[in-house]
Amino acid sequence: MSLTANGIRADGSWRNWAGNQWSRPTRIERPSSEEEVADLVRRAAADGFRVRVVGSAHSFTGIARTDDVLVTLDDLNGLVAVDDDTGRVRVRAGTRLSALNPMLLALGLAMENLGDIDAQTVAGAISTSTHGTGLGFRSIAAGVVGLRLVVGDGSVVVLDDDHDPGLRDVARVGLGALGVITEVTLQCVPAFNLRAVEEVLPIDEVVAGFDGWARSTDHVEFFWMPHTGYAQVKRNTRTTEVPPRAATRRKALRRRWKRFKNEELLSNVAFGAMNHVGRLRPSVIPALNQRVLGGVSRAEYVTTSYEVFTSPRRVRFEEMEYAVPREHGLEAFDRVRRLVGALERPIGFPIEFRVLGADDVPLSTAEGRDSCYVAVHVFRRTPSEDYFRGVEAIMDDYGGRPHWGKVHFQTAATLSGRYPQWDRFHAARDRLDPTRRFTNEYLDIVLGS
């Protein structure tokens, strides 16, 4: 049975994108207005049910799972209002980033930073502390200046500069534990283009040069392919240049072909086929990894920001990602490299490394510190616990903070000391949802019951 964009299946069950989380809700709600959200919360309370919201089912943890009431906001989407003077945009919570970005471009606006996929809903992206890369930039949630949410008693709370801004700041990364977000107001920036340079370089050269690139380049990240000596580096610089026009059509076509070959043919089609082979015959993974990078061409192009930031991800996988203080990032990565070499089973997915500026959101993974992110992946239905637990043990040494939507084994006891504003978040939770209407098993583990 095929998955829908939110993981809800025709038989009434739910499964996430990676296939490692599933549940069978008692009922599924599809509100199309804030009033309908408030009504379903009141009905759930009367029936003694808990409520969870699913966005695009791209989290690898059980953050959206419930056997009670599952809510999809797919019908609560679109722009609400735009302030031309400030660049602030009100958007309904179920709007997917893939739909929002072209809408903003048509208004001459853009989101300041984005992650590398655009399948998430706006509410889902901010609630899990989704982020992009760039030392001078922050997570998506840090750009939230207003929220509307339905809280545990079914009432609507407005949070913005004029209405409890302190609580607004806490609720920007809420894990769905504070209520159902119905609207988000984003601080956008004027639309911009990026000059992208993508190339394969020796991994030792990449590690040696990364700090310099992080200081001199707006957005930089790399992907090391395990069992090889190479990594793909992506460096994106904001520019006033415009994409090539008809006079350079041939060059533009060549650039688009290189990008299509790198992202679609190699990163999705060929890479997916190789991972199927590698799952059946793990011993061939190192040789396959060499072939993947061997086919990647250097690409340089200019285009709209969101078209550079995001890439299609059609090969399904499971992922763990940790944020560590920037000064320890490359050391942590080097230890993960050594771990990969010591594992019994070869790793067929690249390890991603990014950097991000600090923000002030209590449960943001970059709260209070510039951070490096180390993300490890495995092809779906591939044994992974020894790998993931080994990586997590390394990250624990640096006070690592796990992405809330990606695999980890932490608990409230291990996490509370890693977030300086942990108690501030719990005070907000006690105020907005004292009866814990919006909890589930995952939140009981990571936030405490």
In this prediction, residues 154-161 reach a mean pLDDT of 98
| Distance from the first to the final alpha carbon of the chain | 35
What span, in angstroms and rounded, lies between the C-alpha atoms of 253 and 270? 22
> Can you give the pLDDT at residue 313?
76
The predicted model gives 165-182 an average pLDDT of 98
The first and second tokens of residue 270, run together, are: 């060929």
Provide the b/e sequence for 37-71 (b: ≥16 CB within 10 Å). Answer: bbebbeebbeeebbbbbbbbbbbbbbbbbbebbbb
pTM, two decimals, is 0.93
What's the pLDDT at 245? 65
Place of tokens 């501030």: 424
Residue 187 reports pLDDT greater than 90: yes
Output the pLDDT for position 73. Answer: 98
pLDDT band at 20 (very low <50, low <70, confident <90, very high): very high
Average pLDDT of the residues in 254-283: 57
Give whole-number Cα distances, 67 to 1, 27, 38, 41, 193, in Å.
20, 8, 20, 15, 44
Tokens of 350: 């690249």
Res 359: pLDDT = 98
Residue 267 reports pLDDT greater than 80 = no
What is the pLDDT, as a whole number, of residue 2?
43
Decide if pLDDT at 181 tops 70: yes
Residue 270 has pLDDT above 90, yes or no: no
pLDDT of 118 reads: 94
Question: Any residues with CB less than 8 A from the CB of 188 and at least 6 apart, and which?
Answer: 87, 88, 89, 104, 109, 110, 111, 112, 143
Q: What is the pLDDT of residue 263?
A: 52
Residues 37-64 have a mean pLDDT of 97
Residue 323 class from Cβ within 10 Å (0-12 exposed, 13-18 middle, 19+ buried)?
buried
pLDDT at residue 164 above 90? yes
Question: Tens digits of per-residue pLDDT, 334-374?
Answer: 999 999 999 999 999 899 999 999 999 999 999 999 999 99
pLDDT for 319 equals 96
Q: What's the sign of the alpha-carbon dihedral 376, 196, 140, 310? A: negative
Quote the pLDDT of residue 251.
53
Distances (CA, A) of 359 to 212, 230, 271, 365, 422: 22, 32, 35, 9, 15
Contacts of 4 (CB under 8 A, 6+ apart): none
| The pLDDT value given to residue 356 | 98
Write out pLDDT tens, residues 280-327. Answer: 678 778 888 888 777 778 889 999 999 999 987 778 899 999 999 999
| All domains in the chain, ordered by first residue | 1-189+410-449 (3.30.465.10), 193-402 (3.40.462.10)
E-strand ranges in 6-141 read 14-15, 22-23, 27-29, 51-54, 69-72, 79-83, 88-92, 109-110
Q: pLDDT confidence of 80, banded at 50, 70, 90?
A: very high
- Give me the DSSP letters along 209-277: HHHHHHHHSSEEEEEE-TTSSEEEEEEEEEES-----GGGHHHHHHHHHHHHIIIIIIIIIIHHHHHHH
Strand ranges inside 305-418, DSSP E? 317-325, 351-356, 371-379, 401-402
Say yes or no to pLDDT of 261 above 50: no
Tell me the percentage of the chain whose pLDDT exceeds 90.
82
8-state DSSP, 194: E
* Average pLDDT value for the chain: 92
Query: pLDDT tens digits for 220-258?
Result: 999 999 999 999 999 999 998 888 764 454 554 445 544
**CA atoms within a 13 Å half-sphere pointing along the CA-CB vector of 285:** 24
User: For the CA atoms of 342, 345, 348, 349, what is the dihedral angle to 10 degrees?
Assistant: -60
Q: What is the pLDDT of residue 246?
A: 46
Q: What per-residue confidence (pLDDT) applies to 285?
A: 83
Region 122-133 average pLDDT: 97
Average pLDDT over residues 109-117: 95
